[in-house]
Structure 1
Amino acid sequence: MRHRALPPGDVRLERGVFDDRRELNRRYLGSLTVENLLQNHFVEAGIGDQSWHLRIGEGPGPHDGRDRHWGWETPGGQLRGHFMGHWLSGAAREVAVTGDAALAATLQSVLAGLERCQRENGGQWIWAIPPRFLDRLAAGLEIWAPQYTMHKVLMGLVDVHTDLGDERALRLALAASEWIDDWSSRFATDHFQRMLDVETGGMLEVWADLLAITGDERYARLLQRYRRAEFFDALVAGRDVLTNAHANTTIPEVLGAARAWEVTGDPVWRQAVEAYWKSAVTDRGTFCTGGQTSGEIWTPPFEFAARRGAKTQEHCTVHNMIPLADVMFRWTGEIEHLEYVERNLHNGILAQQHPTTGMVAYFLPLAGGARKHWGTPTDDFWCCRGTLVQAHTRHSSLAFYSAEDGALVVAQFIPATAELTLDGNPVTVTTALGATAARVRPDANAGPVGSRHRPRHWAASVTITSPQPVTVRVRVPAWVDGPATVEVAGSRTQHGPGFVDVHHQGGTTVVGLTLPTALRTESIPDEPGTVAFLDGPVVLAGLVDHERTLVGDPAHPERLLVPDDERQWAQWLPGYRTLGQRRALRFVPLHDVRDEPYSVYFPLEPDESVAQDPASR
């Protein structure tokens, strides 16, 4: 393996948009009460507030959802209890990274509640759904993914153990897993394989994690039992089994295959992962945002024009593809996987969280004049609400990697500090952007003094502190417009996209980076006359209530958009406005759009066609 992730406690975020969004998420995680998180588990176990039972089935109604959890968590819902696992996973990572004492106390109370439920249910069953849901699954009757729901709780318990070393969480997961092992062993292989066609979430990943933790052969058996042969074999054979298939059924399965290879070393698992990446990304392409789904299903390869709608880009798929890109980078060291992560972080994870309320948008519409539809705190416990509370606890884990040659890799321009030991040597590395970087490099044009107009570059700095020599490897992104400048101790060098090694000799080294940017357009592959506008890795959204045609040359976006409202006190602001169009239109980063209607893609017409037929606009 070429790179390793750093332990969660070794990296913390510094001030910036990613830490702001993490804080919004932390507040939401902490706002949910133990009683409400456990409501369905208590109902299933026959314990808890008896007055609650009288209100089952009423729905939010006059309660307005504030006193209990509704939506997919409504008692009686077939996925009830799924959010518990996401909450456990998100809370564990937040505590591991920040040491949040209040959230840690809530987490322990939730574990105590789950422990009680498992005891009341006979010592194994821990879930908020009843075992009879699995009887329906086995009989081929209609039921909504019980194993998906069960996986979420197992995932959360395993993550609590992995991130915090919590032995109680592990005991709960092991006892619950015994029930699944006993149940699943009753079926003939062909019968169980058919049952796996109903979404199982990341069961494979849990079995691989538990195999790594315990070494128990039970989990090796479960890995093989839960390998959906028809899917994996077709994938490795090179067949397109993704087009028009439900995306978030298969991404967790492949993440499980990745973990299975890391734990067992069996090449059959790695072959499946590499084939999936090739089919899902390399041979399929993406929207300008980095997303690849519409209506929760995979788009046809490089055919996206007809798939722009109100339900483009499901948040779950974005969240789950980022860890897959992380896997591919750790295995191969290829920089393209970091570029994929960056694009999806800015235009998926950030864009699908409300910048003020912290709520999630299940989908990111790409139809002209669409609006994001935000969930509410206690009504909309969609799957994407679950992945949201995990996603914003994991930004720090994507900022740095440890390379096999001993270097520390600065993978993303996320303001963060890593404090770790490399070869027995204490190392601290801090990355900064914009005005923060300008304090290190006064000429970075990001503070009160600098260019007359918005600088056409990202200013960044990397500060390295260590008593002994260490190599820090910095990514120069593919979106740079011309050579990037790297400055160390007054010496400047220029570099194209790729990695730049900085050889720190001891003490403190400050590395200044200037990453030139330019507006650029990206067209839809099967509709080249329709383009999106990007500034660095950031997709720009035009604030408009219907699809609009613009006039101009896609090769010269700087003639179409110019900076707008560019300065506020010591800040450069990121907006644009159109130039030379019949009606003015303003553009902002997609991740800053809240409730306004917007468009991302715009048909472009050359000037001469409009001159001949002005009405066409």
Structure 2
Amino acid sequence: MDNVNLLNGIFKQSQEKGEEYLHYLDIDRLVAPCYEANDQAPKKPRYGGWEKEEIAGHSIGHWLSAAASMYATTWNTELKQKLDYAIDELGNIQYSEPKGYVSGFPRTCFDNVFNGDFQVDNFSLGGSWVPWYSIHKIFAGLIDTYKYTGNRKALDIVLILANWAKNGLGNLTDEQFEKMLICEHGGMNEVMADVYILTNNKEYLDLAKRFCHHAILTPLSEGIDDLEGKHANTQIPKVIGAAKIYDITGEKKYKDLADFFWKQVTNYRSYVIGGNSIGEHFGSENEEELGITTAETCNTYNMLKLTEHLFHWFPKAEYMEYYEKALYNHILPSQDPDTGMKTYFVSTQPGHFKVYCTPDNSFWCCTGSGMENPARYTRNIYYQEQGKLYVNLFIASEINMEDKNMKLRQETSFPESQETKLIITKGNNETLPIHVRIPQWAKGEVIASVNGNEHYSRVENGYLIIKRRWVTGDSVKIKLPMELYTYKSKDDPKKQVIMYGPLVMAGALGKENFPETDIVADHQALNDYPLIDVPTLLTDRMDVNKWITPEQGSPLTFKTDPVGQPGNVNVTLIPFYKLHHQRYTLYWDIRNDSAE
């Protein structure tokens, strides 16, 4: 991430708003539960919401990962000072704890587990709510802080914590360990694999493998989809960890299960925005059941992490097609551009609205992953491998390729414009194949013109390839033709979404009978809020471009002919990422009036 910068546009604005929230949060309040868990008085009272529950402490872990990633992209010294202070505080807590334990809840539940005689269910272990899930966030935050900022104390803390876990879990039989994994445990296999990478101590890799939940991962490795009814975000981190273990070991079963899982979820268990799950659980294959509690935002954060692994193994456009869809239509829309607050669920219920966290009294899981998302926007715009540069996303940005002594700048206002321009701002007459993704949504041929006259159209794995010696001032202009089209849901052809390029176009339905505020402490507080009637779109013209036209002077705003029924209503459509604090519809009931 440290060699890519955002220049301007919607992602830069969202990154800046996300950074504001990281600065706003008080470290003393975030670490307060960790002091209390160690029977020490905190410097300030803990935050509210989930930080007053047994899951407390997960938020400081998310904050560390978010702030470390943000520092790696912005080099904000104030944020670095705040990170160092947070690490010092966690170190002080750990130093006074006999076993080196640090988390936001007492160690008792783990003591029960390490003794081998413990109770467990899907969300409870040793008498506590998802303890491995919560402490996993602290593991990950410490690791990210060390990786992205070089803070040695963060590494020291996580190694002491890893040894505490390793020593305690060494008492468990394989049967007891597998029983323990019934409870949601986040990406513990991933962080133990990371600790192995940092230390080269095989004991941590062995522990990462023990944290692989055989009941879930073995069927996936055999090409069996047994996901229906399972808690979605419990499973995704398990697969990410397996992918990391493949990166380390080359054991094919881990690669196969990750690829199979990704294909099943993205192709058969996801909504048009790239999110998945209803009521936090996977539904049936090829079903897009609409509802208020659909598309938990954490799930998509984790699916993007998994997609990154797969693209590194197989640099094919299909992985970045999903990445782009989920990034523009779920991750970007999940942050309120006014307040920086985050969504938990993204409702697909026609006529409903988004619900956001409060700054001080929510701290849901998706508040935490939502802190991290804006710091990750620079990831996967570009990818370098074996002397090649992949341009995956059309986002205004700059990449510094020190190994090639080159800099490339991407200038674009996409998706408001239908083109992007790559400019070599520093060239060294180096030969570099540039692979530009050809989007599946492109309506027409994608052609690259170099310096205004040389045209390239060779395609491989969904990428247009431009190979030449690059010098300072070379430029590549790429046309990205877009038009409106419809997406038909997997379970009902009349249930359709209006798209423009990669964008889900939401029907902006205004504030009729809208709640006093959509920023709430409880993410389910407005689940039963009354809905409104949503028009059915009735037309005999199958091509949406015949009855939807752009609004002049308003980029990416469209209006339908009076096809909304009852009442011959005109409907305004805007990108979902632009829609906040009003009612909306993503999935329309579109019917052919000639058949009625």
Determine the structure 1 residue equivalent to 2:15.
Answer: 22
User: Does residue 94 of structure 2 align to residue 118 of structure 1?
Assistant: yes
Matched, 1:588 2:574: yes
Alignment-derived partner of residue 408 in structure 2: 429
Aligned length, in residue pairs: 556
Amino acid at match of 1:461: K
1:196 to 177, 181, 185: 181
RMSD: 1.9
Kindly indicate whether the alpha-carbon contact (under 8 Å) linking 2:437 and 2:463 is maintained by their aligned counterparts in 1. yes
Distance 1:602 1:50 in 2: 52
Q: Aligned in 2, Cα 1:359/1:562: closer, same or farther, shift over 3 Å?
A: same
Q: Would you say the 8 A contact 2:62–2:141 is kept in 1?
A: yes
Aligned partners of 2:458 and 2:464 also within 8 Å: no
Moved over 4 A (4+): 49-52, 135-138, 494-497
Q: Please report how far the alpha carbon of residue 165 of structure 1 lies from its aligned counterpart in structure 2 after TM superposition.
A: 2.0
Look up the SS of the partner of 1:350 in the other structure: helix
Task: Output aligned runs, 1:275-354, within 5 Å.
Answer: 275-282=260-267, 284-304=268-288, 307-354=289-336
Residue 205 (structure 2) pairs with residue 243 (structure 1): no
Change (3 A) 1:492 1:25: same
Q: Contact 1:318–1:349 at 8 Å: present in 2 too?
A: yes
Which residue of structure 1 lines up, in the alignment, with residue 339 of structure 2?
357
Q: CA offsets, 1:569-613, max 9 Å, x none? A: xxx511111113201211111111111110011111212245xxx
Per the normalisation by structure 2, the TM-score is 0.90
Is it true that 1:96 corresponds to 2:72 in the alignment?
yes
1:601 is aligned, of 562, 587, 593, to 587
User: Which residue is equivalent to 2:464?
Assistant: 500
1:176 is the counterpart of 2:161: yes
Structure 1 residue 263, shift from structure 2 partner: 1.3
CA distance in 1, matches of 2:410, 2:492: 39
For 1:487, the equivalent position in structure 2 comes to: 449
Instruction: Give how far 1:51 is off.
Output: 7.9
Whether the 8 Å contact between 1:369 and 1:598 is mirrored in structure 2 is yes
Q: Distance in 2 between matches of 1:430 and 1:109?
A: 35
Query: Is the Cα contact below 8 Å between 1:531 and 1:554 reproduced in 2?
Result: no
Q: Separation in 1 of the partners of 2:369 and 2:541?
A: 36
CA contact (8 A) 2:456 2:465 kept: no
The answer for the alignment partner of 2:428 in structure 1 is 467
Distance (Å, rounded) in 1 between the aligned partners of 2:67 and 2:330: 21
Q: 1:483–1:496: 8 Å Cα contact kept in structure 2? A: no
How far is 1:285 from its partner?
Answer: 4.9
1-structure distance, mates of 2:254, 2:397: 33
Partner of 1:429, secondary structure, is strand
1:538 corresponds to 2:503: yes
The structure 2 residue matched to 1:81, chosen from 37, 50, 57, is: 57
Aligned partners of 1:92, 1:590: CA distance in 2, in Å?
Answer: 29
Q: Which residue of 1 aligns with 2:438?
A: 476
Letter in 1 for 2:360: T
Q: 1:393 is matched with which residue?
A: 375
Task: Kindly provide the amino acid, as one letter, of the partner of residue 258 in structure 1.
Answer: A
Are 2:401 and 1:420 aligned? yes
Distance in 1, matches of 2:382 and 2:71, equals: 19
Shift in Å, 1:546: 3.1
In 2, the alpha carbon distance for the partners of 1:543 and 1:471 equals 43
| Aligned partner letter, 1:338 | M
Q: Give the secondary structure class of the aligned counterpart of 1:577.
A: strand
- Would the aligned equivalents of 1:310 and 1:370 in 2 still touch at CA under 8 Å? yes
The code of the aligned residue for 1:586 comes to T
Residue 11 of structure 2 aligns to a residue whose secondary structure is helix
Is 1:519 the counterpart of 2:484 in the alignment?
yes
Q: Is the 8 A contact 1:522 1:533 kept in 2?
A: yes
For residue 454 of structure 1, what is the aligned residue in structure 2?
none
More off after superposition, 581-590 vs 20-29: 581-590
Unmatched tracts of structure 2, length 5 or more: 510-531
1:65 equivalent in structure 2: none
Counterpart of 2:136 in structure 1: which amino acid? H
Matched with 1:440 is: none
- Equivalents in 1 of 2:238, 2:42: separation in Å? 37
Q: How far apart, in 1, do the equivalents of 2:535 and 2:352 lie?
A: 12
Partner of 1:558: 545
Is residue 472–residue 504 contact of structure 1 (8 Å, CA) maintained in 2? no
Counterparts of 1:279 and 1:488, CA distance in 2: 39
Q: TM-score, normalised by structure 1?
A: 0.87
**Is the CA contact (8 Å cut-off) linking 1:73 and 1:381 kept in structure 2?**
yes
What amino acid sits opposite 1:414 in the alignment?
I
Please give the alpha-carbon distance, in whole angstroms, between the structure 2 residues aligned to 1:318 and 1:25. 17
Q: Amino acid of the residue matched to residue 76 of structure 2?
A: D
Q: Are positions 1:127 and 2:103 aligned together?
A: yes
2:473 match: secondary structure: strand
How far apart, in 2, do the equivalents of 1:492 and 1:603 lie?
46
